[in-house]
Chain A
Amino acid sequence: MNISPPIALIAELTHRCPLQCPYCSNPLDLLGLARERDTAFWINVIDEAAELGVLQLHLTGGEPCLRADLAVLVAHAAARGIYVNLITSAVVLDEAKLRALAEAGLGHVQISIQGAQADAADRIGHYRGGHEKKLGLARLVPGLGMSLTINAVVHRQNLDELPAIIALAASMGADRLEVAHVQYHGWALRNRDALMPDRAAFEAADRVVAEQRTALRGQMVIDYVVPDYYAQKPKTCMGGWGQRVMTMAPDGSVLPCHAAQSIPGLVFERAGERPLRAIWEEGAAFTAFRGTGWMREPCASCPAREQDWGGCRCQAMALTGDAANTDPVCHLSPLHERVTETAMVAAQSGVTDFIYRRL
């Protein structure tokens, strides 16, 4: 099999974060400051990634702006011709830091919001005053020549605010709004009962997005991540396992996706201990589910096997107990009914309290 180089490197520089969102995509077992890697490590990773063919770097966390060397890393990647995206909560940023990042060559800033109303949003992020800070910082981004994306994770406790969230993003001059239904891995899986919308709410959200896409055409793009549990077809997770994206944890572990550590038995190598190219092309974690050779039925003979690549391995693990099963979101999975049922039970649970993400 001919292995294409990765398009993107998602670098989780730290797991530290001032926010405690209950759907955080970080693993439950968070790494502390002592496990983080130094500037020289990340500079070396960027060099190896550029040589391998990485075109996009996503600096994320945790909160990447807690790293004092952020602008140094941005400048180094930009000088190597890599496009740099910053994924941030923005609460520890200020105008001077933002300006320094723009001057270092940052192309795109993605700022998360937890809702449209300060009180409700701050409750979800568990950080008082966060919402107002975010809005203040977001408004500065376009003027500094960088593209602005607002990211809003939506769920049962904020989905009714969706029209207001869209209007808010447009009013801030965002070039793009990402409306993402919660993906149930890690902390989100733990909080599933408090987050899962019912089918009616999800269908209403679909209609709002479709209408607003038309209304805002040419001004703001809306990207929409659908809720898996109510889908009939699985998502093409990560563009195919080990095909487009490489993720790196704060300790330098190289992962095929940010949730891959939820799959028992996979061994993750660390950058610096073996060339990144070898980890990507031959590493056991990357070859485990690359391509179609690992597939069972109904995937193995499915005409869509090279479009969806069997869906999400971590979801197959979480919902069926075996990562090599067909993603049960797929209507062809023998376990599909169980997913729909799980969603309906969670949506009716009445749970409103969150288990907040903590290091």
Chain B
Amino acid sequence: MSAMAAISAASSPALRRGVRQHFDTVRGAPILQAPERVVVLDDIALAIIELCDGRTSIAAMSEILAARFAGEAAEVEADVLAFIGELADKGLVSA
């Protein structure tokens, strides 16, 4: 039995302990600060991270983002799932 938490549209991701969002004034970019790791965020990535509050589901996140960035809801959801999956594999979010 794998310990992998299956990430789905119903998951509500949150930043893991010790992971913080920050704005780097030297590089002029939003970043994610984590143990021995820095991830530079673009606008969409930042918007996703800001919704990682442990309460908002990926489905709800995708609706908000689709409205904000004028995207196709199903396409946005696929992108959000992929991005959250990537962050989860790096140990930056739990879902």
Contacts and interface: CB of A to CB of B under 8 A. Distances in A.
A198 interface: no
Contact of B17 (A85, A110, A146, A217): A146
B68 interface: no
Interface stretch (A18-26, A52-60, A154-162): A52-60
Nearest to A147: B18
A85 B3 CA distance: 27
Q: Tell me the dominant secondary structure on chain B's binding face.
A: loop
Interface string A145-174: 111010000000000000000000000000
A149 B91 CA distance: 11
Report, as a range, how many residues of chain B touch the other chain.
Answer: 20 to 34
A83 interface: yes
Contact of A216 (B3, B31, B94): B3
B63 to A, nearest CB: 25
B35 A217 contact: no
Interface stretch (B21-29, B44-52, B53-61, B75-83): B21-29
Contact of B33 (A51, A107, A146, A221): A107
A136 B18 CA distance: 20
Nearest to A175: B91
Given A56-B33, A110-B35, A215-B2, A221 B91 contact: yes
Interface string A95-122: 0000000000001101000000000000
Interface in A32-89: 51-53, 55-56, 58, 81, 83, 85
Contacts of B24: 53, 55, 81
A56 B91 contact: no
Interface residues of A, number: 30
B30 to A, nearest CB: 12
A218 B4 contact: yes
A81 B29 CA distance: 13
Contact of B88 (A52, A55, A215, A218): A218
Given A175-B91, A218-B88, A108 B35 contact: yes
Contacts of B22: 81, 83
Nearest to B37: A56
A58 B36 contact: yes
B36 A108 contact: yes
Contacts of A221: 89-91
Contact of B20 (A8, A83, A219, A220): A83
A218 B26 CA distance: 33
Nearest to A4: B27
A214 interface: yes
Interface string A202-218: 00000000000011111
B38 interface: yes
A142 interface: yes
B16 A175 contact: yes
B88 to A, nearest CB: 6
A331 interface: no
B50 to A, nearest CB: 18
A176 B91 contact: yes
A147 B91 CA distance: 10
Contact of A53 (B2, B4, B5, B26): B26
A139 B31 CA distance: 29
Contacts of A220: 91
A324 to B, nearest CB: 29
A217 B95 CA distance: 12
23 contacts: A5-B27, A55-B38, A58-B36, A81-B25, A83-B20, A83-B22, A83-B38, A107-B20, A107-B34, A108-B18, A142-B17, A147-B16, A147-B18, A147-B19, A175-B17, A215-B2, A215-B3, A217-B2, A217-B3, A217-B89, A218-B5, A218-B95, A219-B4
Given A55-B31, A221-B90, 6 more contacts: A7-B38, A83-B33, A107-B18, A107-B35, A176-B91, A219-B5
Interface of B: 2-5, 16-20, 22, 24-27, 31, 33-36, 38, 88-91, 94-95
